[in-house]
Structure formats: C-alpha cells, structure tokens
Amino acid sequence: MPDPSQAIRNTVEVNIISVLKMTQLILPEMVKKQRGLIINVSSGGCVAPLPSLAVYGATKSFVDYFSRCISHEYEVEGIKAVCIMPYFVSSNLTLNAKPNFWLRSAKDYVRNVLAVTTTSTRWSHGCWQHDVHGWMGRNLPHKVYATSIGLVLQRIKNKQM
C-alpha cells in the first residue's frame, strides 16, 4: 500500500508544481512577444466533491483558479490561459476503455479541445458531452452526482485489480 503522505506530495507535484514551473518557464517569452495561449488541464473532478478524491479535486481546482488568474492578469499582454476540465477520456488512466458516447477517444477529445481553445474565454470541459457532465455536477443533488461518478470510478478500479 502506498504511503499516503507520499501520494499527497506526488499529486501536488504533478498537478500544481508542474503547472507553476511551466508557466514560469514560458510566460516571459509570451510577454516579450505580446501574445500566447496557455492550455492547462484540470479535471471534471474539481466541479463537485467526489468520494476519495479530495486531494486530487483540490489540486485540480487550483489549476482552474490559477488559469483564470493568469488569463486575467496577462490579458493586456495578449496572453490567454484556458483551463480544460475533462471527465473520462480513453487513456491509460481509464485502462484504454473503448470510447463511447460519454467516454471520448483521446484523438477525438484533443480535436475538440483545440477547437474550443480559440473560442473559450477561460475554461471548457473540452466537448459537449463533458459539458453535460459538468452541468450535472453543478446542478444535480450532490449525492446523486457523486454516486454516479463513484460507480464509474469503481468500474475502472475493478478492472485494474
């Protein structure tokens, strides 16, 4: 069983520190050129609290908030930051599950993300199917939403064992 303290450090390192360092690395050149687009990846897991995902959701909420701040602060410099908040995409994380109506293929999802980054003002779920997930997370009773997402996560977890 992994050390919980190390798991927290790893999550913060991957989801927060890497975003800060990459932004610190690329922002000066964007300011110099007076233009740029930063695409940060958060998660639909930060829309509403989900079982056993407190640290993950909190770090992804940071990515969303940080992206909004950067976009606002550097708008006059011609720099836009967009936060993408996906739900389920066929990838190693979802054990390359077969894409379906809700679970998008990585290729299809990226194509949608690239299209919305030109029109989105600050954030997007990346595709309209994930927008529906986001709406559910913000509008359904928490217990209903958390239970439905929890069932999907449990299916993924069961396939990993």
Q: Which domains does the chain have, with CATH numbers?
A: 4-160 (3.40.50.720)
Q: When comparing pLDDT for 2 and 4, which is higher?
A: 4
Residues 63 and 41: beta-carbon distance below 8 Å: yes
56 counts as catalytic: yes
Can you tell me the distance from the alpha carbon of 85 to that of 131, in angstroms, rounded to the nearest whole number? Answer: 9
Residues 84 and 47: beta-carbon distance below 8 Å: no
Q: What is the pLDDT of residue 66?
A: 97
34-84 per-position pLDDT tens digit: 999 999 999 988 888 877 789 999 999 999 999 999 999 999 999 999 999
**Which residues, at least 6 apart from 159, have a Cβ–Cβ distance to it below 8 Å?**
95, 97
Average pLDDT, the chain: 88
Is the pLDDT confidence value at 161 over 50?
A: no
Q: State pTM to two decimals.
A: 0.84
70-98 per-position pLDDT tens digit: 999 999 999 999 999 998 898 887 878 88
